[in-house]
Chain A
């Protein structure tokens, strides 16, 4: 457990180790259009700091991390590590993956040694250092186990050991705790922080991608917030809380609140614009991947909450045991459909939202359908196309191709599936997954 003897107040900012300048990343949509994912990113990672990179899902945080370590090349701009341009993965930088990325056919020891093999470390020393790293990360006794014999938490320990054994200068982590259960994640976070605080690892700087706001505040000296569509850094916030940090400390709660506010600004929101400013005529609008039941559940909860129609997002997230990221998907959807508004880290129901919460199942469907038709151009478009066809049917592919003009293939599929899900609930159209066809309901809807 966290037993730091000399709590530091402020991380002293040292020399810049890793930096990005004018970084852009453009992906091609299947239709050949350009899709700007990262827009003019400037970023510095200095010695002895932990930086957390926050953003909604789809904001390009993972892409940014992979540009920084050299796994993918930026479309323009430059990444420099200790003043050398990064053109591919380099010694000195290590990475921890969300799903651990262990080689299942190698034992724990072999997995850890693998990082050293490519650095030309002689066998004897390799073994010694690997055992040290295994010991350091609390895996002793498991050297000869295969990853599949281990629990998720233990597997991620192997992931950490494999990264730390190379004595990396910079450690990059891609949502390292998000695949673990709450307790295990907490445990591993604390141990990593202890190692860092006690300087038992030579790592000079850590950059972590996360979508958990509390985790960011718990660990980081600095939080960067990435906007969505395209990804820009819209906020750079220092966190000067002493360590170990306490979740119940009012100062801690205040910082979390600030970050929630920063993340509910229009730029940070999923669709990249405030609900009021969304171009409600463009098919290219992405839809947050929220289920109808979640949207309605949230609205009901807020309506019935202590403040009757208004609630604090951090508190909601804690209560519903949701990561901020997952909560935002739902609030975005509610906002997009015109049932609620988020601002300053709060969610407020609009009159229509209150009405939705108070209606019965049938009324609810009618109201939802009305909002869907008015506010989600894709849904209206699908209705129009189906109505125009003599047999009232159209293949899913047809709409997918249209969407791919505006976004990547996966994004397009997600958006279309969300629209289909919402439209099915609203009884605007039906979908036959076997044939991959949409059609108008028999009774004409």
Chain B
């Protein structure tokens, strides 16, 4: 066995520099340098109490640096997602018992609104990275991570469980160790799907990068602006600075282009070789960057060193007579069944406990009931979460919380049930920016939910808001289907146009649509347009592209003979659509539709509340509800909103998309 590292032969003979190295070597050095700068910026000290509020400058000179920081976050989020995918998805694929827990959990987590996670985790990460900016960075990165990871994990898991039986057997006969099997069989097999999903996730990620760089921190009056393009945009929106918006848009355009050309194209082209297919593909993805790297002597030397490192990791001594078995159908042993039973018991117990815990957390003791009566809602009277008003209440002895909420029950407590109200307090209560009931004493007399907790009436309200948002998603997915399907088919039938438009549509999907929201705000505010008609479509703005490029892809893949047959049969007009086009593009459309609807649910949090300068437009809906309650700290209201949205998305997917998907799989497959 080899023990020297790196073994002498590896380095010397291969280090042949080629002209290409003139590009590759500086490029690598620059990348390392940039990463260092970004990390230095991200690891500066930050103390919740003393460090001045983080902010950004709208001077465009800063944009390259902000772009770097944003890319850095994105990069770390992808790395984390891969790590999570390789461990958790693998565990799910390998262990039946883990699978039982992990898969439903992932399914639910993937339905939860991504921006909700930002609220959940900020406090946690600030605690973990105490005194360092890394805490806020981590919260932002985690939000991006959650926008990418589920999708990737599912793709990887699905690949692992569909590895052909004979390949698994070959690996067993060759007695590959689990570690080797993972890298030689499982990861390569899953590679094309994983890369494609990662690319899609990153596309979607830009949207959330922009939304997750401005973070509310408990104990601070102002939001914290992490240096980044997202914060820059947020500030530009706040100050209604049109020029800054244009600069930011350009910056993102360039970043996405670089990301695409330098990272994803090469990886996709490289991953061609992992495609598990019997024949050679007609069209192979190309990348100039990959060609550059492959021709560079320096890069291949790096590669050789890497290989040497891998080889020098001592392998386990070869065991004499033990490979692993590959069971087709295992006969469960009694022992196994006993463990199973214990495991099921544990899973059920933990689930019940979690449900109970969540219920008490949301409703407080008594689960929203007291003496058999439903408790009334306990509203936050500081409806704008204005720190100034919170301070004024505090001056009257009313508890003001770090997240600026002032609960009615606390007002009641400070005024002996609304009966002893001083004139100053009465004035404050009657302030139009305070949402207190007119008859304080009467409101206080009704038993209400404990401070900060949710009442059952709010659950109903939340469901109603959820219904509103669902309707918007359904209507706008429907409308964009009607708009983009004919256009996509038109493009798809013309391969030359398709070749040109396809990457553009992908690019449009990556470009964060939130950048365009202010345009809508200005238009709606200036011309007093109906919000439901003009603000609601914002949620589909970024997601509609998935429908377009899937329709194009579906149309392109219709076999020529089928189109010719339709022509010979004289199919025309509606019959041509109904008999040929719609069935043929259906599977591709369903895939696009699922992605688009998931995207618009997530976007609802950002798009139901949009602002430009001093103008803020709010549409009532679940997204606005969650956005409102994202105060910097996880609270029962955010929990309720996320839960309702998660369940709605889950139900929507199960009842609607999954059925269409099954239909597409069984009836409309073109093969």
Contact = CB atoms under 8 A, between A and B. Distances in A.
Interface stretch (A95-103, A197-205, A214-222, A247-255): A95-103
Contact of A118 (B2, B169, B175, B278): B175
Contacts of B315: 120
A105 B273 contact: yes
A90 B321 contact: yes
A84 interface: yes
B175 A89 contact: yes
Interface of B, secondary structure class, is loop
Interface string A229-242: 00000000000000
B185 A103 contact: yes
Chain A residues touching B, range: 35 or more
Contacts of B173: 69, 71, 89, 93-95
A115 B315 CA distance: 15
B322 A88 contact: yes
A146 B326 CA distance: 26
A301 to B, nearest CB: 32
A27, A86, A118, A120 pick with most chain B CB within 10 angstroms: A118
Contacts of B191: 105
A148 B279 contact: yes
A103 B321 contact: no
Given A75-B331, A123-B2, A101 B176 contact: no
B188 interface: yes
A119 B318 contact: yes
Interface string A104-140: 1110000000110111101100000000000000000
B283 interface: no
Nearest to A118: B175
B8 interface: no
A97 B273 contact: no
Contact of B1 (A98, A106, A120): A120
Interface in B178-193: 180, 184-185, 188, 191
B327 A72 contact: yes
Interface of A, secondary structure class, is loop
A73 interface: yes
A289 to B, nearest CB: 20
A245 interface: no
A89 B320 CA distance: 10
A105 B274 contact: yes
A31 interface: no
A280 interface: no
B666 interface: yes
A70 interface: yes
A118 B174 contact: yes
B608 to A, nearest CB: 40
Contacts of A408: 329
A117 B275 CA distance: 24
B326 A71 contact: yes
A71 B325 contact: yes
B311 interface: yes
Contacts of A93: 173
B309 interface: no
A146 B184 contact: no
A377 B464 CA distance: 56
Contact of B321 (A75, A84, A98, A123): A84
Given A70-B325, A103-B188, 5 more contacts: A71-B172, A89-B173, A99-B164, A102-B170, A106-B184
Interface of A: 26-28, 66, 69-73, 75, 84, 86-91, 93-95, 97-106, 114-115, 117-120, 122-123, 146, 148-149, 162, 408, 433-434
